[in-house]
Structure formats: C-alpha cells, structure tokens
A and B are shown apart, each in its own frame.
Chain A
Amino acid sequence: MAKSEAEVLEGLAAIVAEETGLDAADVQTDKSFTDDLDIDSLSMMTIVTLAEEEFDVRIPDEDVKNLVTVGDAVKYITGAQA
C-alpha cells in the first residue's frame, strides 16, 4: 500500500540517520541534503538505493540531482509509489 508523505519522511529519515549518523529528528523536509546535512554524492546514492528498496520505487540516476531537499525526495518517492 502506498505510504503517505509523513510515513515516507519517517522512513527516509531513518535511512539518512543510518547512513550518516545524524539524528533522524534533524532530517526535516526543508533541509538540503548537501548544504544542511553534509551528505556527499556517494552517500546520496546509498540513501537513494536504500530508499528504492524500502519504498519499492525506482529513482533513476539522472533524477537524483533534482532531489535537493529532503522534501523534494519525500515528494518524489510518494509520487513514484505504484
């Protein structure tokens, strides 16, 4: 069943926390992956891959550059769910 934006945010925050060691509570929709959370391009790919598995969606590599903020990713994943 498709997850709501709040559920996607919760799941994504857990993935980001696991990859970066950040507190999941700090992973908010207005945060920029690069500027606020200090996530580099390789860690971003790990997060994307784990999110693809977690939410059963496909995020093509060329779309990753458009996911600037956590909110961008939440919207993308929510919309991509079958």
Chain B
Amino acid sequence: MTTLTIKRGPEFSRILGLGVARGENVVPNDDIIEPIDSSDEWIRKMTGIATRVRANSETSVIDLSERASLEAIAKAGIDATEIDAVILSTITYPHMTPGGAPVLADRIGATPAAAYDISAACAGYCYGIAQADALVRAGTARNVLVVGAEKMSDFIDPADRSISYLLGDAAGAVVIGSSDTPGIGPTVWGSDGAGAQLIRQTASWLDVRDGSAEAFPTLVQEGPSVYKWASFKMGPVALEAIEAAGITPNDIQAFIPHQANTRIIDQMVKQIGLPEHVAVGRDIVDSGNTSAASIPLATERLYRDGAVKSGDLALQIGFGAGLVYAAQVVVLP
C-alpha cells in the first residue's frame, strides 16, 4: 500500500518578535462626550479610559497592519520571505472578500505565504497564536505572522452609549517560529454562541441591501452582561491556561488580558488571585479598546514601562463577540 509522506515540525514554537501600530490621533474623553451626553469622569469611572487612539480617515486596517508587521519581522530577525503563513485577525476589514491577509502579505513581501483572515473579535489575537503555534509545530509553516488589527472607528456610532466610546484603532503583530524550548503553552479556548447577541453588529449586510437597516451597521453591546461574563467566567479559563502550562500564578511575570475595561481587568485579577508581583497590562487607559490589537499593544506598553523583559512568562487571554475566548501562557520575545 502506498503511504503518504507526513511533515513533522519542531517540537516547540515561540514568539520571535513583536510590533505595534497605534492610530495617529489620541482622542480624549472630552472630544467624544457630547453625542453620548456623558462626562470625562463617568467614562473613567466606568471603563478606566482616559484617551483612545484613532486612525486618520485615509489610514486602513492594512496600513496599520503593515506598520506593525514590518516592526515584528525586523525584531524577529528574519526576512519576510521566510514567512509561510499570514493570519490577520480582524472584524473591521471592510471587504467580505478578498481577505485582508493576502493584501498584507503582498505589501510586506511575504508572497506566496498562505494568507487568511480570522474573525474572532477581541479573542482574535490569541486565536491566531493558537493556530500559528500549531502550524509551526506541525511543520506546515516555518514562520507565521499573526496580526490583530482593527479600525473600529469605521464601525461606531458616536451617539451609541454601549461600546463606541471605548473603541480605538490599532494593529499588533508577532512572528511565531521554531524554538529549542517551549515558548507557547497549551491554548485553552472555546465559544458560547448562546451569547451571540451580547456584542453585535446592529444590522446584517442583507438588511442594508433590503433597506431595512436604520443606518450603516455599527457595533453595540449589552455592557453589564458582557462585564459579568468576562469578569467571572474568564478567570477560570485563565487559570486553566496556567495549569495546562504546568505552572502556577506565582510563576508568571505578567498578566495581559484583552483591554476591554479596567473594571473587568481588576475583577479578573481578583478572580485569578494573581500575586502582587505580576505586572498587569493596562494600556486601555491610553489606547482604549482596540479589539484584536489590544493584547500586543498592552504587551508593548509593559516593555516600554520596564515592567517586563524578554524571557518573562506572560498569561494572555482574549475574549469577546461570539462569544469567543482563548488563553495561553507565552514566553515574551
């Protein structure tokens, strides 16, 4: 009987390099409160956000992705031609097809890398890490570029009091490649489609076609319900990721959750029982909620603040619309 040849990859993978790109404009609360009849004080109290980064109108998801990707590739010390797969995680690329990833791969000189988009909202970066880790270790790709990129400001309603005022525009990218030692712990991930309406687009594209959409579709959320789910259901997921990696909370140097709301972050810290020495990503205060980009942004911020260094163990967890979630412990590049 004829048997197939099966590729085998390296035993381990790791993050080789990180890059980020924030929207060009820093938008303070005072600039957005009028349409939502709110105040700087209220936004800070409810979300922790002081400013959010938003891109110029001519800047695209691909532009932000390109900037972050080139930095990640340079820091990884590889050539773009050594990338065999490009995964773009986004919910704001404004074309159903073609995907943004092939366009990005072409822009950065990674052609003919396999390239595809994934839609896992605020969990998208951690979903991408899970896929990249598996692709590298299976021998399917030598190096994988994972990008979380959003231009949320294209899909917001300035008068929406549920989520729009939280959102920012940015991209974060990492290159995942082979490693002599374990660099990415097992991913704990899942979904709960029963909560699909908790964070959603206001109308489908068919509603727009048929004229039944009241306005251009934007994002809305049931804030308190999302808070409850994220604050109390995601802590156990994060703990599972720590256990799956064979370590304890004492062994990690950083906790880098999706930057949804500082109140959620605070509650998760409490639920996990994180020791005080663990640095906690809180880039949301200045960058806002940038969905799939928020974890790499918060990681970059921790480096810049001197709170983490290469080789540190970081617990990261993404969670959001779907509902979807994913967590893993990684060795910081």
Contact = CB atoms under 8 A, between A and B. Distances in A.
Contacts of A45: 224-225, 227-228, 231
A46 B222 contact: no
A44 B225 CA distance: 11
A41 B224 contact: yes
Nearest to A44: B224
Contacts of B116: none
B206 interface: no
A61 B45 CA distance: 22
A64 B267 CA distance: 19
A42 B46 contact: yes
Contacts of A41: 223-224, 227
A49 B235 CA distance: 14
B42 to A, nearest CB: 9
A61 B267 contact: no
B45 A46 contact: no
A64 B223 CA distance: 13
Chain A contact residues, majority secondary structure: helix
Nearest to A64: B224
Contacts of A42: 46, 223-224, 227, 261, 263
Interface string B211-230: 00000000000111101100
A49 B232 contact: yes
A9 interface: no
Given A46-B231, A46-B267, A49-B232, A40 B225 contact: no
A44 to B, nearest CB: 7
A8 interface: no
Contacts of A40: 45-46
A48 interface: yes
- Of B46, B228, B231, most A-chain CB atoms within 10 Å: B228
Given A41-B223, A42-B263, A61-B222, A48 B46 contact: no
Contacts of B45: 40
B311 to A, nearest CB: 36
Interface string A32-47: 0000000011101110
A61 B263 CA distance: 18
Contacts of B46: 40, 42
Interface in A24-82: 40-42, 44-46, 48-49, 61, 64
Nearest to B222: A61
B233 to A, nearest CB: 10
Nearest to B261: A42
A49 B45 CA distance: 20
Interface string B258-278: 000101000100000000000
Contacts of A61: 222, 224-225, 228
B13 to A, nearest CB: 37
Interface of B: 45-46, 222-225, 227-228, 231-232, 261, 263, 267
14 contacts: A41-B223, A41-B224, A42-B223, A42-B227, A42-B261, A44-B224, A45-B224, A45-B231, A46-B231, A49-B228, A49-B231, A49-B232, A61-B222, A61-B225
The 3 lowest CB-CB distance pairs between A and B, nearest first, are: A45-B228, A61-B225, A41-B224
Given A44-B224, A61-B228, 19 more contacts: A40-B45, A40-B46, A41-B223, A41-B224, A41-B227, A42-B46, A42-B223, A42-B224, A42-B227, A42-B261, A45-B224, A45-B225, A45-B228, A46-B228, A46-B267, A48-B228, A49-B228, A61-B225, A64-B224
